[in-house]
Amino acid sequence: GNSLTLIDIASASVVKNIDLGEYSRPHGVEWIDEGTVAVTVEGNQALIVVDVQQGSVTKAIKTDQDVSHMVALDPARNRAYTTNMGSASLTVIDLESTKRLENIQTGKGAEGLAVSAGAGRIWVTNRDDDTITVLDGDTLEPLKTLSSEGFPIRATATSKGQVLVTRARAGDLVIYDAASFDEIRTVAFDINSMGSEDRLFGDRFGDSSVPIGVVVDNAGERAFVAHANADVITEIDLASGDIVRLLHAGKEPDGMGYSTVNARMP
């Protein structure tokens, strides 16, 4: 496709659809400010900046990398980063000049992406290598390569100094200390798969519920994980590692966002 949909959360209604024109296969999206979003467009090897109110693309920054998939923002350095699955790389973009600064090799299937609070380290999950690359946000030099057997696919950082990584094949969530790189705990998901037919990964991961998308509440206390082969969302207490709630979703949930606004469902 080549569009974005803007949704009013309170009324659970569509405000508008934004036509991206020549820019296709939008995937990762992050709010830069109240009226502007950064979006990866896989079909164009680029990151675009979209004025949501005007409904138009204002900037396009080429990554020149294959499958620019996820995007994360680094407000302290006024940067955006993209992971590029097909090129095994991370792209660094300066948002003030809207220029690409660098492409950095990290590992095969570079997908998950998080900027940790505090030190601002950049975490990249290389799903096909079963590794995680952590880079220094200032020097952009690799600090650590962590082994992560089980197809590490997504990452997110909490306000409490943790980084969470979902592993689709292993069927779990790993919680890391962002400063020491130590593994705090692994949350295993004993959730039955709903079957693999007509799903992105098919039967590649056997009976795994295929946890992919992960978001965290603003307090850094609860995580929500989308299970693409089980059609559910798990809510996890990060202090204890306990699963506190199971939410039913549509088929093959993946991308999510967290909001404190209560939606009035029609």
pLDDT, tens digit, 9 for 90 and up, residues 71-90? 999 999 999 999 999 999 99
If one counts the domains in the chain, the total is: 2
So what's the pLDDT on residue 195?
A: 86
So what's the pLDDT on residue 209?
A: 97
Domain carrying residue 260: 151-266
Neighbour-count burial of 145, counting CB atoms closer than 10 A to its CB (0-12 exposed, 13-18 middle, 19+ buried): middle
Domain boundary, last residue among 36, 71, 105: 105
Give the SS3 label for residue 18.
strand
Give percent of the chain with pLDDT exceeding 90: 94
Task: Check which CATH number belongs to the domain holding 1 and give it.
Answer: 2.120.10.30
For the ranges 100-109, 167-176, 256-265, which has the lowest average pLDDT? Answer: 256-265
CA dist list (Å): 181 to 104, 135, 159, 260: 21, 12, 16, 30
- Residue 265 predicted with pLDDT over 90: no
- For residue 114, tell me if it sits in a domain: no
So what's the pLDDT on residue 96?
A: 97
What DSSP state is assigned to residue 263? P
CA–CA distance, 68 with 82 (Å, rounded to integer):
6
Domain boundary, last residue among 86, 105, 124: 105
Closest CA to 157 of 140, 142, 144, 175: 175
Q: Quote the pTM value.
A: 0.96
- For residue 123, tell me if it sits in a domain: no
